Amino acid sequence: MTKKSTNTAAVDPTAVTKEIEDMVATGRKSLQEAFLNGTEAAEKAFKSNSETFKTNYEKAVAEGKSGFEKVIKTLEGSQFYDKKSAEAFVKASNAAVEKSEKIGAALIDFGTGSLQDVFNVTKTIAETEDMTKVVEIQTEFAKNSMQNYVSEMGKFNTLVADAAKSVVEPFGAQYAASLDMFSKQA
């Protein structure tokens, strides 16, 4: 029969606990740094893409306006072109382009602003050590996001109602003029 060695070294629980805490802190710091670096890279890409999108949007709107003006000039030379009837259409079309440009710009600004807020809160949360503070930050962000959303939707509703009114208005004036002309002939 062989005797087993009972040579067990005394393990200091305090030292083991400290070693584990150090490993967790180091791991957490590495994760925070990686998360912040990833967030910064995503934010830079987003900003670059947003600027490109805005530039392309503005270019498309300008080209659309230019194309519309060319079509109207081409039609003016036609024997079937009725300037009085076409004026309402031209005014309504111009109003639609102008208002849709404003609505589009507002949507782009709202979307880019909202995503920038997400990047900002993400960085703040990643840098925060206290979990209670993290919950407070998230709660405040959710509250502010909802308030901002409701406010912006109110603005969009106003923009859309104004656009609809601006587009219909020239036809109302044309209708009234036509009705007046018809009643004088009768």
| Domain range summary for the chain, segments of one domain joined by + | 14-185
Question: Do 118 and 63 touch, CB atoms closer than 8 A?
Answer: no
Contact 115, 46 (CB under 8 A): yes
pTM beyond 0.75, yes or no: no
The winner for highest mean pLDDT among 6-10, 107-111, 112-116, 143-147 is 143-147
Task: Tally DSSP H helices, then E strands, for the chain.
Answer: 3, 0
DSSP letter string over 50-89?
A: HHHHHHHHHHHHHHHHHHHHHHHHHHHTSTT--HHHHHHH
pLDDT tens-digit map of 116-146: 899 899 889 888 888 899 999 999 999 999 9
More confident site: 159 or 10: 159
How many other C-beta atoms lie within 10 A of the C-beta of residue 2?
4
Q: How far is CA 116 from CA 37, 42, 124, 155, in A?
A: 16, 11, 12, 20
1 vs 37, more confident:
37
Q: What integer is the mean pLDDT of 25-45?
A: 77
- Mean pLDDT, the chain, integer: 81
Q: What is residue 147's predicted lDDT score, i.e. its pLDDT?
A: 96
Q: What average pLDDT does the segment 45-61 reach?
A: 82
pLDDT in tens, 138-185: 999 999 999 999 999 999 999 999 998 888 888 777 677 777 777 777
